[in-house]
Structure 1
Amino acid sequence: MEQRINFQEKGAGAMKTLFSIGAYLKKSPLDQKLQVLVEYRVSQINGCAYCLDMHSKDAMEHGEDAKRLFCVAAWRETPFFTDRERAALAWAEAVTACQVPDAIYTRVKEHFTEEELVDLTLVVSSINTWNRFNIAFSNPAAVGTYRAGQFG
């Protein structure tokens, strides 16, 4: 498949809005390492190759262990994640599926303040949006070209 639209060029206004969300989240009280872990998991669910490449590199740059990245799709079955990370991953999966049961909300509220939970939901929503742009407009030639921290 070839690139359909260079959405970063043709949709500069829309992209500016998405980049401003990213700038806001960099100042969030949520740990950057956790944010990237959630972005990686959501990108796995959505099958976004460009974002998986990007967030695996960013995760490693933030000190993430490769073993954890290799196993994040099976986070429930591994001992590698904290209870807070497990709550965030469960929340990310539920929000991505647009099905958030009370049990997951109750669990995540045990580990995150209300402000953090709003920001975590914004992380999930934002990466879902990026995944959809990358998948809809496809640019397979770009996969593998990202450098850690390239977009700030």
Structure 2
Amino acid sequence: MEKRMNMFKVEPEGYNAMLALEKYLTGTEVSKTHKELIKIRASQINGCAFCLDMHTKDALKYGESQQRIFTLNAWRDTPFFTPEERALLALTEEVTLITSHVSDKTYNEAVALLGEKYIAQVIMLIVVINGWNRIAITTGMMPA
């Protein structure tokens, strides 16, 4: 894929609006581990090389294990993720693949484990990473 445009240069107001959402996310209760697992999983689904490169590096920097990152695509088949992380990953997949909708089971389990406010913040995180994925993929952003 070739780089198509620099979104910041072409549409700085829109890009800065995305950055404002990202700044909001830094002040939420969502843990760094949860943030990076969600960002990596959504980026795997969407096939965003730029975001995968960035967020796997960030996850490692925050102490995430290589084993968990390497097996994240098969999280259901490993014992490496907590019940809370499993609920977040299921929610991430269903929100990212929204044409199938978010099931009551997935939503209710996530809220029961983590609370409504935390899940509201997680939903915002999922929406934002999906937005970044779409910007990066469409404009041809490539890892350094």
In the alignment, is residue 23 of structure 1 matched against residue 61 of structure 2? no
CA distance in structure 1 between the aligned counterparts of 2:6 and 2:117, rounded to whole angstroms: 35
Q: Deviations over 1:19-66 (max 9, x none)?
A: 111111111011011111100000000000000000000001111000
Alpha-carbon offset, residue 15 of structure 1? 1.2
Which amino acid in the other structure matches residue 86 of structure 1? R
3-state SS of 1:110 partner = helix
Alpha-carbon offset, residue 139 of structure 1? 2.9
CA distance in structure 1 between the aligned counterparts of 2:77 and 2:59, rounded to whole angstroms: 21
CA distance in structure 2 between the aligned counterparts of 1:138 and 1:83, rounded to whole angstroms: 36
Q: Deviations over 1:81-137 (max 9, x none)?
A: 000000000000001111101111111111122111111001100000000001111
In the alignment, is residue 97 of structure 1 matched against residue 90 of structure 2? no
Partner of 2:131: 129
Partner of 1:86: 86
Which amino acid in the other structure matches residue 110 of structure 1? A
Partner of 1:32: 32
Indicate which of 118, 121, 134 corresponds to 1:119.
121
TM normalised by structure 2 equals: 0.95
Alpha-carbon offset, residue 4 of structure 1? 1.1
3-state SS of 1:38 partner = helix
Partner of 2:72: 72
Structure 1 runs (4+) greater than 2 angstroms displaced: none
Any gaps of 5 or more consecutive residues in structure 2?
none
Higher helix share: 2
CA distance in structure 1 between the aligned counterparts of 2:68 and 2:7, rounded to whole angstroms: 32
Q: Where do 1:37-48 residues align within 5 Å?
A: 37-48=37-48
Partner of 1:49: 49
Partner of 1:11: 11
3-state SS of 2:16 partner = helix
Q: Equivalent pairs: percent with the same residue?
A: 37
CA distance in structure 2 between the aligned counterparts of 1:49 and 1:8, rounded to whole angstroms: 19
Which amino acid in the other structure matches residue 123 of structure 1? L
Count of matched residue pairs: 142
3-state SS of 2:113 partner = coil
